[in-house]
Structure 1
């Protein structure tokens, strides 16, 4: 039989991968074909409909355009902050789970060595 702790760590791999994915999307990578965006922004685009604000600079006053740029800058920074927070917290959850699984005593240590030996009915060859 394998170590039961491995079974407990199965989901930690997915959590760690998602945390690193969140943090990787913070890298400002831009090519002709691809622009990296924060994960929270990408998920938000899928959940909500596009904004009704027109960003056309040929129409409207300069005050309105300046306000839109200011709001978009704040929004952009909040998306980066949320993405960084999610990435760091997912990785911290992974580390905490690893510590809890390996720091927890095994069944034989909790119950007692003598009881475990007396009630071991496995086939010993």
Structure 2
């Protein structure tokens, strides 16, 4: 059997305690992690200081109604991207738009006022 020698250890070096991040470092980290939210907050503060009517109830309602369509589209695109089911490229979008337009026009019949015909191209 071999003898195991105990190693002598000298004094254990004491690591100096590092100071925490500075305020500027914390703000920089916040901006990197939540940049869009910080930008939105800065824009709202700047607009409210520049325009007296920006934070009124009527204006906030108008902005909410105006952006509702974009919110629905963004939610739908997020769902599609997560599920990976539909092509969001330009040709896929053009094909989908054609299908929905054809289906929504009454089985392919469009009313053309300029020429007075009931069929498109006729």
By the TM > 0.5 criterion, same fold?
no
- Mark the structure with the bigger radius of gyration: 2
Normalised to the residue count of structure 1, the TM-score between the two structures is 0.24
